[in-house]
Chain A
Amino acid sequence: MIGTVAGLILRAIVVLSGTAIITFALLWNAPGDPAQAIAMARFDALLTEDVIDQVREEVGLNTSFWSAFVDWIAPLLVLDFGYSSVTGRPVGPDLWVAITYTFPLAVMALAIGLAISLPLAIIATKNPGGMLDRLAVATASMGTAIPAFWLGLLLILLFAVQLNWLPAMGARTPVHSILPAMTLGFGIAASLTRIIRSGILEARDQPFLPAIRRRGVPVRAIGRDHIAPHAAVPVVTVVGLELAFLLEGLVVVEVIFGRPGLGTFLTSAIVARDFPHVQAVVVLVALVFVTVNLIIDLIYKRIDPRIGEHDA
């Protein structure tokens, strides 16, 4: 048991290192002269070769790949993200501000997703193949086909433009996060409904259930003690998948709703070619993602020690 846990942690570290190398290779090979881009962003029109070279020196763009990689990764290991190459301000505090906008939104979206999908899946599986079930499945399929940015625009159109009930742009008050959270939450609900539904159906098919029923165990207790744990395995998996969906959706939704969160932070950094900002977000996302997946793997080991044994 301890061996496998250590193995999983080691694997997560290897994966993170791999991600770091890929990320750096990408930054290193980004076309165009990043020094020039940075200099332009910083000094507007006053561009001479001297200034560009100076910027290149300062940002550390004139060394070899691996020595630059070491220079690059060393401060990141202690979560020192350096200074913005555009504004010159330290990245850390700005990143933290962005997180404070993004994190509550993500939690709200997950809550909305669960609040919709859980009851929907339970109602749907009362009578598999029945009217309600088919309706739930159809809605869910529909939901997964709608891109987050279009859903966001539709919600703005309906609630902000036509009905004028809710504000659309910015993040000044908590009310401002209702529409973005709904946008993300609906998307999550769509895929969660499908997975929770098939999880429940599969758990119901367990061969030992008829025997338990015959022993006279009440239906409610069977659901709680025997079906729920089995349905939990796919739900745990899906949390990992949903996290990816959530992060992808966040980028888009924050841009649409003009929220100064991580997504906006990332996209505006890309446009400005502010590499320290970009890499800070990349490192953060990879860290969160790998950690969550590590935790999921560990939970798996608890639920069923056999899982993953054959997966090298």
Chain B
Amino acid sequence: MRSVTYLAVAIFLLAIVGPFFAPYDPAAINIPKRLSPPSSEFFLGTDALGRDILSRLLHGARYSLGLAFLISFIALVIGTVVGLLAPLGGKIADWLIMRTTDSFLAFPELVAAVVIAGLMGAGMWSLIFALSVTGWMRYARVARGIGLSLQSRGYVIQAKLAGLSPLAIARWHYLPSLVPSLTVVWTGMFARAIIGISTLSFLGFGVQPPTPEWGAMLLDARIHMRSTPLQMIWPGLAVVVSVLAINLAGDALRDSVAERSEHQ
């Protein structure tokens, strides 16, 4: 399982340093060489405008993986705050917050994201907003569950009696216990965000051309499926490998967290 974690880290690093390895400018149009097959000149071939696919994939990692990181992190913050407000705010706050969470959950997340991003107008910021605002509920449920179980712990009661503010109690007594479980949830949501970004972009509601995002690249490639089917394989493969690596790393993490909590 350790090798999988390395792979996930490697993919992550690729998103940061990948563009420096790109042999060509990802936006450089080269019409005479359009739709050329893989060769020593273009390792993965070129697209309909003659742009180097390998360069576009490497630059695209920054969008697909970087945005997924950003989105899953924003959702993590929203979800943790919401989830902790429930146990700290008392019964009525808890009820209100959980029903709000349920209301957000009463809709398939990706469909909601499509509607939101679509109505806001396509673009990177609507994509980020749409996927963050539909992606925080799992974090909230986990944070609330752990928060509720901590509520009756002796040291939390003592902190309350000592007159600590809810914020201080959340910071010192709740948050540290949340980290392992939320990290596991986060890996899952990170993978989901990668799929979400590429799906939205593929549908035309996300990152717009000529940005080399993987889903948007697939949208481009789709038209030329008959002539150059390979062009469609690469971006999809990039999505699958990243998602798979992150999911497996998440599984390994979950197992080690479960093992550790059993030891305690």
User: Which residues of A come within 8 Å of B, CB atoms?
Assistant: 11, 14-19, 21-22, 26-27, 30-32, 141-142, 144-150, 153-154, 156-157, 161-162, 243-245, 247-248, 251-252, 255, 266-267, 270-271, 273, 278, 282, 285-286, 289-290, 293, 312
Contact = CB atoms under 8 A, between A and B. Distances in A.
Given A145-B244, A157-B232, A161-B225, 18 more contacts: A11-B99, A15-B106, A21-B103, A22-B104, A31-B121, A145-B247, A147-B198, A156-B225, A161-B229, A247-B108, A251-B203, A252-B202, A255-B203, A267-B114, A282-B107, A289-B108, A312-B91, A312-B95
B114 A141 contact: no
B14 interface: no
Interface of B: 91, 94-95, 98-100, 102-104, 106-111, 114-116, 118-121, 191, 195, 198-199, 202-205, 215, 218, 222, 225-226, 229, 232, 236, 239-240, 243-244, 247-248
B244 A289 contact: no
A19 B106 contact: yes
B239 A26 contact: no
Contact of A290 (B106, B109, B116, B243): B106
A15 B229 contact: no
Contacts of B114: 251, 266-267, 270
B225 A19 contact: no
A270 B218 contact: no
B222 A248 contact: no
18 contacts: A14-B99, A16-B103, A18-B100, A18-B102, A26-B119, A30-B119, A145-B243, A150-B239, A244-B108, A244-B109, A251-B114, A251-B203, A252-B203, A271-B204, A285-B108, A286-B106, A289-B107, A312-B91
Contacts of A142: 240, 244
Contacts of B244: 141-142, 145
A19 B99 CA distance: 10
Contacts of B119: 26-27, 30, 270, 273, 278
Contacts of B121: 31-32
B236 A16 contact: no
A142 B237 CA distance: 11
Contacts of A149: 198-199, 202-203, 215, 218
Contact of A285 (B94, B107, B225): B107
A182 to B, nearest CB: 17
Q: Which 9 A-B pairs have the closest CB atoms?
A: A18-B103, A270-B118, A150-B236, A248-B110, A145-B244, A145-B243, A244-B108, A30-B119, A247-B108
A286 B107 contact: yes
Majority DSSP secondary structure for residues of A touching B: helix
Contacts of B232: 153, 157
Contacts of B204: 271
Majority DSSP secondary structure for residues of B touching A: helix
Nearest to A275: B119
A19 B103 contact: yes
B111 A251 contact: yes
A16 B110 contact: no
A290 B195 CA distance: 25
Contacts of B110: 248, 251
A26 B106 contact: no
B229 A157 contact: yes
A37 to B, nearest CB: 10
A102 to B, nearest CB: 12
Contact of A147 (B118, B195, B225): B195
A282 B115 contact: yes
Contacts of A255: 203
A312 B144 CA distance: 11
A144 B247 contact: yes
A303 to B, nearest CB: 21
B120 A31 contact: yes
Contacts of B104: 19, 22
Contact of B118 (A245, A252, A271): A271
Given A15-B99, A26-B119, A247 B239 contact: no
B239 to A, nearest CB: 6
Contacts of B109: 244, 248
A70 to B, nearest CB: 18
A261 to B, nearest CB: 13
B199 A252 contact: yes
B120 to A, nearest CB: 6
B43 to A, nearest CB: 21
Nearest to B248: A141
A263 to B, nearest CB: 8
